[in-house]
Structure 1
Amino acid sequence: MDLRKTAEGVLAGVGGEDNVTSLVHCATRLRFVLKDKDKADAAVVKKVPGVITVAEAGGQFQVVIGDDVPDVFAEIGKISKVGPSAAGETKPAEDAPKANLFNRFISMISSIFTPVLWTLAGTGLLKAFLAASVTFGWLSTETSTYVVLNALSDAFINFLPLALAITAARYFKASEFTSLAIAGALVYPSITALVGAEGLTFFGIPFTMVSYVSSVIPIIIIVWLQSHAEKFLYAKLHSSVKRFLTPMIVVLVAVPLVFLVIGPISDILGGWLGSGIGWVFSTVPWLGGAIMGGLWQVFVIFGLHWGLVPLFQLEYQTTGQLLLVAPVFAAVLAQAAAVAGVWVRTRNKNMKALAAPATLSGFLAGITEPAIYGINLPLKRPFAFGIVGGAIGGALVAIGGVFSTAFVVPSGLALPALFGNGSMVWLAIGLAAAIVIPFLLTVLVGFKDPQEDETVAAEASDLDVASPLDGIVVPLAEVPDAAFAEGALGDGVAIVPSKGVLYAPFDGVVAAAFPTGHAVGLRSADGAEVLIHLGIDTVKLAGKHFTLKVEQGQTVAKGDVLVAFDLEAITAAGYDMTTPVIVTNGDRHEIMGDRAAGAITHGDALYFAVSVEPAATAQASA
C-alpha cells in the first residue's frame, strides 16, 4: 500500500483538511467528525487504493482501512494538521450540525473509549493467559511471580476511572488534571476501604460508599458536569484567582456529589442491568447468546457496537464476569470461517489472495473488517452463513454458562479468557458449530463466484482513450475538486461538456455504474480502468437530470451511449460540469505522449495509456 497516496486520497475525499473537525482511529477504521458531511464523497473515498469501504454511523464518517489503519492515520498527520486536537479533542465543533441524540451518544462513547480500548484489551489478554495458567496448574497464586503478573494485568482495568477521566475531559473540554484529581479520589485506598461500611456520613449527611474500581458511568457524568462548572467559574472569578480556585471548588463539590448522589444511583442502575443480563442468560441463555452471536457483526457494520461497550464494563464491575462477551467469540470466528470457505471454494485469484490474510486476521486477532467488507458482505451468502453460524454457536456457548473473566477482543488468541468459566464442553461445541457451519455452507452451498479479473490473467497492453464527450478539454489541475485536481484518484484530463451525452471511450466492460448516473467506470479488455465523473458534487442530485443507459458488467463498444444528462438543468442548479476522465490503475497503465487540449468531439483521441508491465519486463530482460 502506498500510504501517502491513500492518505491524500482519503483526505481529499472527505472534503479536504478544512472540512475535518477531528480524526481518530480504532482497530480498522479512520473515524472522521466532519463540519459538513455533504462535502464528503463516499464513492470517491471507496475508490482510493487501500480503502476497503466507507460507513457513516454515530455521527462519524468512517473509512475502513484494515490492519494498516494506524500507518494511514500517521501519514495523514504528516501531510496535514488533521487529527485529535492538542487535547485529544474528538467532539464536534460548536458550529457543526447537530446529530440526533442516539448518534451523539454513540459518538461520545466511541471518542471516550477508543483511546483506551487496545490497552484494555492487551492487559485483558494478559489476565486471560494468567487465569489459564492458574487453571491448568502451571502457576500458583501463592507465588510472588503471580502477584506481579496479576498486578500488571489487572491494574489498568482496576484504575479505569483514571484513564476515562482523561479521555472524557478531552471530549467535554474539561481540565484533564482536575478530572484526574476527581477520579483519583474515587479509587483512593482509604475510600475503597469504606465500601460496605455502615454509618458513613459527610457533614452529617448519611451515605453509602459503593465501589468505583473499574467503574465507568460515575466518572463520565461528573466530568461532563465539571466541564460546565469550569466554564461558569472561569467566567465569574477574577483572573488573579480563578486558575487555582476553579479546580479547588470543582473538586470540593464534585467528589462529594459522586459519593452522595451519582455513585449510589449508578450503582443501583448497574445492579439492575447486571441482574437483567444475568436473568436473560440464566432463564433463556440461548436467546441472549443467539442475539449477541448472530447480530454482533451487524452492529459492527453500523457502528452500534460502541453502545454495548459500557454495558460490558458495567456487567464486569457489577458481577466480575462478562456473559455478554462470550457469544461474541462465536460471531467473530463464524465470519472468519465463512471467509475461509471462500478461500477454499473460489477460483478467482484476486479473491483467493484477499481471503487468505483475511482468514488469518479474523481467526487470530479477531479483526473481521477485511473479511466482511472485502469478501463476505459483497458476496452476500458468506456473510449470511456467518450470521447463522454465529447465532447457533453463540446460543450453545451461552447455554453452557460460559463467561469471560477479562475485557478482551474476542479472537482465537483471547480464548484463554473463557477457559474454566462455565461448561468447557458447551464452549467447545459452540465454537465448533460457529466455525464448521458457515465454513461448510460456504463451501457446499456456495456463492456467485466473481469472474476472474482480466487484468490478472491477460497481459496488459496499450490503450487509445477517445473523448467520451463533446466539449472543451482542460488540464486535470483545473478541476475544482482537490481529489481530482491533485491526482489522488488517478491521472488524466477533464472535459467541460457542451452536450448532454456521455459515450464509451473504448471497447470494454462497465466496471461501475452508479445508480445516480453521475459516474461510470470502464475496464478495457487489457485491464485499463477509466473513471468518468460527470461534474463536481453532482452525486447530491441523487440521479435527477441523469439517465443511466448501461448497467454494471455490461459489455460496451466505443461510441455506445453510457449516460444521457440534462446539461442546462444541472448547470442551472449551480453545479460545475467539469468532467474528469482518469486512469485509476496507474500502476498498470501510464498516460504517455500528448494529451488533447481545447475543443473536442466525442470519438476524437483524448490520450494514450501505455502498459507499465511490459516495459518493466523488457528492462528486466535487458
Structure 2
Amino acid sequence: MSTDDKNRAVAAAILPLVGGAGNITSVAHCMTRLRLGLRDRSLVRDEELRALPAVMGVVEDDTYQIVLGPGTVARVTPEFETLVAEAPAAEAPADSASSADDLAAQGAAIKAARKAKNQTPFKLFLRRIANIFVPLIPALIGCGIIAGLNGLLVNLGWLPAVTPALAAMASGFMALIAVFVGFNTAKEFGGTPILGGAVSAIIVFPGVAKIDAFGQTLSPGQGGVLGALGAAVLAVYVEKWCRRWVPESLDVLVTPTLTVLVSGLVTIFGLMFFAGEVSTAIGDFADWLLVHAGAGAGLVLGGLFLPLVMLGLHQALIPIHTTLIEQQGYTVLLPILAMAGAGQVGAAMAVYLKLPRNGSLRRTIKSALPAGFLGVGEPLIYGVSLPLGRPFVTACVGGAFGGGFVGLFSMLGDKVGSTAIGPSGWALFPLLDGNHGLGRTIAIYAGGLLVGYLAGFTATYFWGFSDRLLEEFDVETETGTKTVVAASTTPSNPSGPNPNPESEPEPAKA
C-alpha cells in the first residue's frame, strides 16, 4: 500500500466513527491532532476510535481532537477533508435530529456546555494568543533548522558561497514575523487580516529609523511581535468602529484608510516604544533569572510545566519564546521546559517494569516510547501516567531534575537555547543553539534529558505506586487490547501552544 493509500485508509476509518461526513462542521489540524467540529457529539464512537492503530488518543475541547502524531496528521487531514467533501450533500449523521436547524442547535448546546465547565476569560484570551502563534511554528522550525545548518557550515568554513543564501533563508521570515503576527491577530480578533498585517508592517519598515518618539529615534523591528500584536488588536477595534459609523457607500475607501492611519500613528508614536521596552525587559529578566538562579528556576519550570499546561497557562509563554528568539536568536526557556517530556519517558519505563503482568499497558508503553523520545508525549500521558495518577506526579519530578540540570549550566555561563518553538525531546537537537559552541550545547541538553529519564524512572519505580495501585493494575490483560485513554488534560508542550481542553494546541509535545 502506498503512503497516500495508507493515509486515505486512516481517514476512511476515522470518518464513520465520528458520525460520518454529515456530522462534520469543520476540519483542521495542528502539529499532532486532527481537530473536528461536530454537530452531534453523541454520534462519536470513542472506544472504537481509540482502538484504531493510527490513533494515539483523543481530547475534547471546542473541537474534537484526534491525536495522530506529527507528520501523520498533516497527511491524513487532506484525505479526510476530501472524503468529507466527496460525501453526498444530503448525507446526515445517523440517529440525528430531523432537521439541519435541530442539528445546529444540538451541537451548539453541547459545545456551550463543554466550554462552560472550564473556560474563563483569561484562558480564552490565552487560547487566542495560541491561535495567533501556532500557525507560525512550521516556518519557525524550518528556518531554525536552516539557521543551525548555516551556523555549522560557517564554523567549519565549508561552502562559503552557499552560506549567505542559507542565512537569507533562515533570517527572512524572522525579519518579517511581525507582519505575520499582525495578520493572524486581526484574523483571530475578527478584523480584516490584511489590515492587521499592513499596520504591523510599519514596525519592520526601514523608514521608521527617521522618526523620533519619546526623545528617541525608532529602529526597525522595535517592539517586535508584542508591538505587532498590540498594533493589530488596535487596528481591529478601529476597523469595527468604522464599520458601525461610516456609511456603506464610503466604507471601502474610508474604513481601511482610517484603520491604517489611526492605528499606524499610535503604533509609531506609542506602541513601538513601549513594546520595545517590554521586549527588552523580557530578555533581560530571562538572562538574569538563569544567570543568578538557573538551577532553581530550571527545577521549578521543568517540574511545574505539566501542571501549567493542565491549567491552560502555558500559552502565555508563546510570545515570550518568540520574543527571545527575535532578540537573541534562540529561546533559553524551551530546552528547560522540554525536560518535562524526559521525566514522562522515564516514568513510563518504570511503569513498564512495575506492571509485568499487564500486557495491554506494557504494549501501549512499547508502542508509545519511540514517540515519547521524539517529544510526542500524548500517548504516554493519556495511556499511562494520567490514568495511573501517581506516575504523572513522579514524571514531573523527573522534569524538575532535568530542568535543574540545564539551568545549573546556565548559571555556570553555558546557555542552551532553541532557535524555534515546537519540537522537544530528541527532535529538538537540530534546533539547539548556545553561546559556547554547538558541541557543548548538545552535550548539556543531552545530559539534561538523561537526568530527566533517570529521575523520572527512579521516582516512579520507588514512589509511583501504592499497594492498592499495584494490586489493581498488575493483573493479566489481553495483550492485543489497546489502552490509550482519553483524558481531560494535556501533555507537555514547551512551545506553549499545546493543546488541552482549556487551550489551543500546541504545537509540539514534550
Q: TM-score, normalised by structure 1?
A: 0.60
- 1:248 is matched with 257
Q: Is the 8 A contact 1:327 1:393 kept in 2?
A: yes
Alignment of 1:271-310 (within 5 A): 271-310=280-319
Alignment of 1:17-166 (within 5 A): 17=24, 24-31=28-35, 40=41, 45=46, 48-49=49-50, 50=52, 52-55=56-59, 60-61=62-63, 63-67=65-69, 68-70=72-74, 73-74=77-78, 77-78=81-82, 80=84, 99-134=119-154, 137-139=155-157, 143-166=160-183
Shift of 1:171: 1.2
Larger Rg: 1 or 2? Answer: 1
**2:325 counterpart SS class:** helix
Separation (CA, whole Å) in 1 of partners of 2:479 and 2:364: 16
1:206–1:311 CA distance, 2 compared to 1 (3 A): same
Alignment of 1:195-214 (within 5 A): 200-201=211-212, 208-212=217-221
Residue 180 of structure 1 aligns with an amino acid whose one-letter code is G
1:174 to 166, 191, 204: 191
Separation (CA, whole Å) in 2 of partners of 1:108 and 1:222: 16
**2:65 counterpart SS class:** strand
Shift of 1:392: 0.6
1:127–1:46 CA distance, 2 compared to 1 (3 A): farther
Residue 166 of structure 2 aligns with an amino acid whose one-letter code is L
Separation (CA, whole Å) in 1 of partners of 2:166 and 2:128: 33
**1:404 counterpart SS class:** strand
Say if 2:365 is the partner of 1:355.
yes
Shift of 1:2: 4.3
Q: Is the 8 A contact 1:25 1:73 kept in 2?
A: yes
Say if 2:448 is the partner of 1:439.
no
Shift of 1:70: 3.8
Shift of 1:338: 3.0
More helix as a share of residues: 2
Separation (CA, whole Å) in 1 of partners of 2:207 and 2:230: 23
Greater mean deviation of Cα atoms: 431-440 or 383-392: 431-440
Q: Is the 8 A contact 1:160 1:214 kept in 2?
A: no
Unaligned runs of 5+ in 2: 1-8, 86-107, 486-510
Residue 260 of structure 1 aligns with an amino acid whose one-letter code is F
1:156–1:166 CA distance, 2 compared to 1 (3 A): same
Say if 2:211 is the partner of 1:183.
no
Residue 106 of structure 1 aligns with an amino acid whose one-letter code is L
**1:413 counterpart SS class:** helix
Q: Is the 8 A contact 2:183 2:232 kept in 1?
A: no
1:430 to 445, 448, 453: 448
More strand as a share of residues: 1
Residue 175 of structure 2 aligns with an amino acid whose one-letter code is N
Unaligned runs of 5+ in 1: 82-92, 458-511, 513-622
User: Which structure has more RCO (C-alpha within 8 Å, separation ≥ 6)?
Assistant: 2
Say if 2:389 is the partner of 1:371.
no
Say if 2:17 is the partner of 1:9.
yes
Residue 306 of structure 1 aligns with an amino acid whose one-letter code is Q
2:425 to 393, 411, 434: 411
Shift of 1:395: 0.7
Residue 113 of structure 1 aligns with an amino acid whose one-letter code is F
Shift of 1:226: 1.7
Separation (CA, whole Å) in 2 of partners of 1:69 and 1:11: 19
Shift of 1:397: 0.4
1:283–1:433 CA distance, 2 compared to 1 (3 A): same
Q: Is the 8 A contact 2:223 2:275 kept in 1?
A: no
Q: TM-score, normalised by structure 2?
A: 0.71
1:556-591: per-residue Cα shift (whole Å, max 9, x none)?
Answer: xxxxxxxxxxxxxxxxxxxxxxxxxxxxxxxxxxxx
1:305-361: per-residue Cα shift (whole Å, max 9, x none)?
Answer: 222111112233344442211212322223233334445665444333332342211
1:480-532: per-residue Cα shift (whole Å, max 9, x none)?
Answer: xxxxxxxxxxxxxxxxxxxxxxxxxxxxxxxx9xxxxxxxxxxxxxxxxxxxx
- 1:586 is matched with none
- 1:453 is matched with 477
Q: Is the 8 A contact 1:207 1:260 kept in 2?
A: no
Separation (CA, whole Å) in 1 of partners of 2:237 and 2:341: 41
Q: Is the 8 A contact 2:297 2:404 kept in 1?
A: yes
Greater mean deviation of Cα atoms: 292-301 or 106-115: 292-301
1:50-101: per-residue Cα shift (whole Å, max 9, x none)?
Answer: 45555566xx3553513144456445534558xxxxxxxxxxx9x9788521
The CA RMSD over aligned residues, in Å, is 3.7
Shift of 1:113: 1.7
Q: Is the 8 A contact 2:15 2:80 kept in 1?
A: yes
Separation (CA, whole Å) in 2 of partners of 1:11 and 1:48: 11
Shift of 1:116: 1.6
Separation (CA, whole Å) in 1 of partners of 2:145 and 2:305: 20
Shift of 1:248: 2.5
